[in-house]
Amino acid sequence: MTSIEKARALIESLTPIQEGPTAETLPCPRCGHNKMKHPAVKNALSRRVTVYICSECGQEEAIMDALGTKPLSLDKWAMPLAFAKKGRL
């Protein structure tokens, strides 16, 4: 499994936590900042993976798409970077 595939699996493991009946407000998996609104559907749905990200990251993804810019690699998102730093990815 590549680092991108591992990052995708890790990031998408948040979806049930974000949408579940006991949904928690966690930091944005893309930038790592505590900007997420509750409930999760008040945030942006990422264009890259099936997970909610903060509005600012959602805007950045939209602008990058409009400009035809290469998207931020999933293994460069805050969540996978934090797990890799702790040796868990």
Contacts of 59 (CB under 8 A, 6+ apart): 44
State the pLDDT at residue 49.
Answer: 97
Output Rg (C-alpha) for the chain, integer angstroms: 13
Give the predicted TM-score (pTM) of the model: 0.90
* Strands (E) located in the chain: 44-45, 52-53
pLDDT given for residue 42 in this prediction: 93
The predicted structure's pLDDT at residue 85: 86
Cα–Cα distance, 45 to 43 (Å, whole number): 7
Task: Give average pLDDT by consecutive 10-residue segment, the chain, 89 residues.
Answer: 94 90 85 93 96 97 97 96 81
Count of the separate structural domains present in the chain: 1
